[in-house]
Amino acid sequence: MRYREALNAALREELQRDETVLLMGEDIGVFNGAFKVTNGLLEEFGEKRVRDTPISENTIVGMGVGAAMTGLRPVVELMTINFSLLATDQIINHAAAIHYMFGGQVRVPLVVRMPQGAGHQLGPTHSHSWEALFVHVPGLLVAVPTTAADAKGLLKAAIRDDNPVIFIEHEYLYGQKGEVPDDEDHIVNFGEAAIRREGDDVTIVGISRQAITAAKAADVLSQEHEVEAEVIDPRTLRPLDLDTILESVRKTNRCVIVEEGWPHGGVGANLAALIQEQAFDDLDAPVGRVTGADLPMPYSKPLEQIAYPHEPQVVEAVLSTFRDL
């Protein structure tokens, strides 16, 4: 099943299971979604539960917050994570804080789905990776599924959760295929990382699509350098399964973090700090980081390609942890 089809299956199953679930977003109905994730859902569930909205991200998310507060479980789709910046007031000041401000009397079971990432020549206003912005905010859960199975399982878990969830999908992954359990109760729990590849020499933590890049780099390291890397895909960044990462680092004594976001104040910077704080004595080299370039995403295809990480940068970062001895 393709990643987009797995997301579609999750939405369909949850709409069938729970009549309080509804979808809202630009072009999600008649047009079947900008990336065709909501294909066929308008015809099956009707306009009351699959709602095309005006082009106003702050309004769309605000409607979702209000609907969630009054007993519904809205799933809001934004066309790209860059556009979520227009809705940060509703996401950060309201969705994330209302449960706290109301002393626990009100919950906001809202899911905000949005794609991110480079590789499609969509320029700087459609291609950035903003995980770090939302990970920074207490009260939000943040998911970054890599595989089709995780996309389905995490989305179903997000819809059933009583907390607001930022659900980030990578544009590159929509067409990628993977095995998905044929089970309407297939749930992937938040806060449980996946070990994509086992190894004893170095830990590589890959965020979103970069978990795939990390796995490819691990194969190169094994075949060409006799270095066996353990690859960890966190799957969710809030809550973060830090225990699995630390256990791996204590085994391998080295760590490299790979992300597509910018280097300053990013997810990798946060992870590197946590690892050195809690596993300093186990490290034989500084924690390495591979990030996107520190600039707005270029439109030019050759420039875009060198603005986000690929396998050679990951391989070099891993090898440098051995040279630092």
The answer to whether position 182 is within a domain reads no
Residue 300 sits in the same domain as residue 260: yes
Nearest to 284 by CA among 273, 276, 295, 274: 276
Look at residue 325 and tell me whether its pLDDT is greater than 70. Answer: no
Are the beta carbons of 40 and 65 closer than 8 angstroms?
no
Q: Which of 141, 175, 209 is the last residue of a domain?
A: 175
Residue 171 sits in the same domain as residue 199: no
The answer to whether position 183 is within a domain reads no
pLDDT value of residue 88: 96
pLDDT value of residue 52: 96
The answer to whether position 76 is within a domain reads yes
Residue 11 sits in the same domain as residue 120: yes
Nearest to 36 by CA among 10, 82, 5, 77: 5
Average pLDDT in the 163-184 region? 95
Residue 125 sits in the same domain as residue 72: yes
Q: Please report which confidence band the pLDDT of residue 54 belongs to, taking 50, 70 and 90 as the band edges.
A: very high
Residue 135 sits in the same domain as residue 97: yes
Q: Which of 144, 175, 206 is the last residue of a domain?
A: 175
Residue 212 sits in the same domain as residue 146: no
Distance CA 250, CA 179 (A): 31
Are the beta carbons of 70 and 22 closer than 8 angstroms?
no
Q: pLDDT tens-digit profile of 92-101?
A: 999 999 999 9
Q: Count of CB atoms within 10 A of residue 149's CB?
A: 19
Residue 139 sits in the same domain as residue 207: no
Are the beta carbons of 238 and 142 closer than 8 angstroms?
yes
Residue 161 sits in the same domain as residue 262: no
Beta-carbon contacts of residue 105 (< 8 Å; ≥ 6 apart)? none
Distance CA 297, CA 307 (A): 7
pLDDT value of residue 266: 94
Distance CA 258, CA 266 (A): 11
pLDDT value of residue 288: 97
The answer to whether position 82 is within a domain reads yes
Phi and psi for 166 in degrees, rounded to 5? -95, 115
Average pLDDT in the 176-191 region? 93
Q: pLDDT tens-digit profile of 208-259?
A: 999 999 999 999 999 999 999 999 999 999 999 999 999 999 999 999 999 9
Domain count, the chain: 2
Tokens (6 digits) for 255 = 């760590």
Give residue for tokens 């890049």.
213
Residue 161 sits in the same domain as residue 198: no
Q: pLDDT tens-digit profile of 56-90?
A: 999 999 999 999 999 999 999 999 999 999 999 99
pLDDT value of residue 25: 96
Q: Which CATH number fits the domain that encloses residue 231?
A: 3.40.50.920
Q: Which long-range contacts does 99-104 make (Cβ < 8 Å, 24+ apart)? A: 99/139, 99/163, 100/139
Distance CA 126, CA 146 (A): 19
Residue 125 sits in the same domain as residue 206: no
Q: Please report which confidence band the pLDDT of residue 185 belongs to, taking 50, 70 and 90 as the band edges.
A: confident
3-state secondary structure of 9: helix
Q: Which of 175, 205, 239 is the last residue of a domain?
A: 175
The answer to whether position 188 is within a domain reads no
Q: Which of 5, 13, 57, 259 is catalytic?
A: 57
Q: Please report which confidence band the pLDDT of residue 151 belongs to, taking 50, 70 and 90 as the band edges.
A: very high
Phi and psi for 24 in degrees, rounded to 5? -140, 145
Are the beta carbons of 251 and 273 closer than 8 angstroms?
no
The answer to whether position 189 is within a domain reads no
310 is catalytic: no
Q: Which of 5, 13, 99, 126 is catalytic?
A: 126
The answer to whether position 163 is within a domain reads yes
Residue 84 sits in the same domain as residue 228: no
Residue 125 sits in the same domain as residue 248: no
Give the rounded distance of the alpha carbon of 136 from its chain centre: 14
The answer to whether position 44 is within a domain reads yes
Look at residue 51 and tell me whether its pLDDT is greater than 60. Answer: yes
Angle at 179 between CA 178 and CA 183, to 5 degrees: 135
Q: Which CATH number fits the domain that encloses residue 65?
A: 3.40.50.970
Q: Please report which confidence band the pLDDT of residue 119 belongs to, taking 50, 70 and 90 as the band edges.
A: confident
pLDDT value of residue 183: 85
The residue segments making up the domain with residue 137 are 3-175
pLDDT value of residue 184: 86
Q: What is the share, in percent, of the chain residues with pLDDT greater than 90?
A: 95
Q: pLDDT tens-digit profile of 6-50?
A: 999 999 999 999 999 999 999 999 999 999 999 999 999 999 999
Average pLDDT in the 197-207 region? 97
Look at residue 324 and tell me whether its pLDDT is greater than 80. Answer: no
pLDDT value of residue 162: 97
247 is catalytic: no
Give the rounded distance of the alpha carbon of 183 from its chain centre: 23
Distance CA 233, CA 223 (A): 21
